[in-house]
Amino acid sequence: MATAGGRSLATVRLALSIVYRSGRALLIFTVVSGFVTAAATAGELLIGRELLNLLAGGDEVDAGDLAPYLIVLGVLLMVAAISQAVAKELRLPLGEQVHRRTMDEILDVATEVELEAYEGSDFHDRLQRARMAAGGQSSAVVFGLVTIVTTLAVAVGVVGVLLAVAPVLVPVAVVGYLPIAFVNTRNNRAHYRLEVELTELVRDRTYLEFTMTDRTDAKEVRSYGIAPTLRQWHGALWETRLRLLRALVRKRMALTTLGSFVSTIVLVATLTIALVLAARGSITLGDAAIAIVGLQQLSSRLKAAGTAFSGVHQGITFLRDFEQFRATLPAIRERRPKGVPPSPPGTLVVDHVGYRYPGATDDAVRSVSFELRRGQIMAIVGANGSGKSTLSKLVCGLLPPSRGTVRWDGIDLATCDPTLVRAQIAPVFQDFSRYMLTIRQAVGLGDVNRLSDEGAIRRAVDDVGLGGVVTSLPDGLDTRLGKAFSGGTDLSIGQWQRLAIARALFRDAPVVVLDEPSASLDPRAEADLFDLLQQLCHDRIVLFVSHRFATVRSADQVLVLDQGEVVEIGPHDALMAAGGLYHDLFTLQADRYGLLH
């Protein structure tokens, strides 16, 4: 098992690697600037010492004698100031580049991990902590290390001067730093433990903030007058965090006060020694003055190094979350099957498929079986919670069956690369995405390899009945969606759903899975949609989930789910003649809405 020191070194190497790959030149310039500052500071002390000794020598000194020293001192001061400014300014672009790289690595995991991971809170906790730790903590670790190195370089220069004038002062001054280092380490560990404890609380608070500021939720927030209650819950979460933070700060302040007290006593003792040595004539007046200035410099540099060490220690502690999160990517890719599915598939067979969500006690789908050939449309019906959407995700390759198999032309899709499987499926989900991009992009995302195919995008838009809407907009297909953006326009819920269907049609995939694609459409629009599917999907495998029976009766097969199980399957007429659950559900809607058998 790796030691704590070994893990810390590994995390430091990770941070250095990230920053180096993000901006090698910027990092090198930052480090060099720090060493230049260190050299200039040591030079300033030496020149100051010579000036004081010259003035205290008793001989007459004129401006000509002082000029060379003053010129060199001025140059050193300017060099130190410029190098410090350069190092400070370079941190801004370097920090941004580091943040970009670390977020890229987080997005690699978040977009490649299987959908099932999003069903549990553990993944969300790890994702949130990784995002918190990513850019800022990588930069903090490396910039802290740079600060430590350059600060210690300055300290070494100061120590060199002190060794030349009063070597006895050096070990005493260095010992004074140790309490600060101990305190910082203890404080950082306590802070990390608290942040881990509060991970879910922060996510809960962030969700409430989103709910109160999201345009979609704004209607209900106002209609139901729930803002005060949400604000109360939001405030309570903040109070809990602040209460725990205040308790942490009290403990940290007590330790910090103790450490500072010890360090101050040591500093005063070293200054006293310097003055006693000067009074006895053991060192010159110039040496004494430089010793005092040097001790103050050394003290401030060691404190700066201590602060930087604190940041590095804290950054390493948090960065381990990012390191562990990104380390899962190879395993994700290794677990991914390598098989190639048929293209295009001629048959879809679902064979005794079952699925249970992580943490659930009951199956969402149990022993579902059916077969569908190219050119056939199957409608899936059932009450809410019967497993229709779960079955859709299983067919789409988004969830792995807990039992049974999903096969294309006899090939188990569990053995195939899921990205290759999904590339042949065009889905429309019940909770479809509303991409606030241009209309062209929102449709073109159905097949990113054909984003420039304007003709196909227009045909898809026309097929779902949005052609007139797009034509009426000043920017046509290039109209930005979303009122949150400058010049953006909004769509009705039905138009958003049509756009999602257009995206699926644009994909031109051999398998089409539609989960309540007409939930936001009126009955006429839904009938038109089903007619369109029969025209465009005559050579495709189509699954169509719906609550409305006026359209599903035209499907080749109707599968009826109840509590996750198939209770009936067959053509509309056969199911009606059987007088089972489908007959009862259809008759109920027929009586209510005047449907004809």
For the beta carbon of residue 298, count every other beta carbon within 10 angstroms: 27
> Is residue 589 pLDDT above 80, yes or no?
no
pLDDT top residue among 341 and 309: 341
User: What is the band of 135 on the pLDDT scale with cuts at 50, 70, 90?
Assistant: low
- Inter-CA distances, 102 with 96, 125, 215, 330, Å: 10, 17, 30, 16
- Inter-CA distances, 101 with 131, 136, 163, 467, 471, Å: 12, 11, 44, 40, 40
Q: What are 423's two structure tokens? A: 């590339």
- Inter-CA distances, 561 with 243, 262, 370, 383, 550, Å: 50, 74, 12, 8, 18
Phi and psi at 403, nearest 5°, equal -145, 160
Hey, which residues does 405 pair with through a beta bridge? 351
Q: What are 139's two structure tokens? A: 């930069």
Per-residue pLDDT tens digits for 141-153: 767 777 777 777 7
Q: Which range (50-54, 172-176, 324-328, 450-454) has the least confidence? A: 172-176
- For residue 467, give the 3-state DSSP assignment: helix
**194: burial class by Cβ within 10 Å (0-12, 13-18, 19+)?**
middle
H-helix or E-strand containing 355?
A: strand 347-355
Q: What is the pLDDT of residue 171?
A: 72
pLDDT top residue among 514 and 163: 514
Alpha helices in 280-373 (DSSP H): 285-326, 328-335
Per-residue pLDDT tens digits for 226-241: 888 888 988 899 899 8
Radius of gyration of the chain (CA): 35
Q: What is the pLDDT of residue 282?
A: 72
Per-residue pLDDT tens digits for 490-526: 888 888 888 999 999 999 899 999 988 776 667 677 7
Q: What is the pLDDT of residue 440?
A: 94
Q: Distance between CA 243 and CA 90 in Å, rounded?
A: 37
Q: Distance between CA 359 and CA 224 in Å, rounded?
A: 33
- For residue 575, give the 3-state DSSP assignment: helix
Domains of the chain: 7-333 (1.20.1560.10), 433-508 (no CATH)
Percent helix, percent strand, percent coil in the chain, to nearest 5: 70, 10, 20
> Is residue 24 pLDDT above 50, yes or no?
yes
Q: What is the pLDDT of residue 596?
A: 47
Helix and strand element counts for the chain (H, E): 21, 10
- Nearest C-alpha neighbor of 357 from the set 407, 399, 389, 398: 399
Contacts (Cβ under 8 Å, ≥6 apart) of 187: 252, 255, 256, 310
- Nearest C-alpha neighbor of 205 from the set 104, 128, 153: 128
Q: What are 461's two structure tokens? A: 């838009």
Average pLDDT over residues 67-76: 84
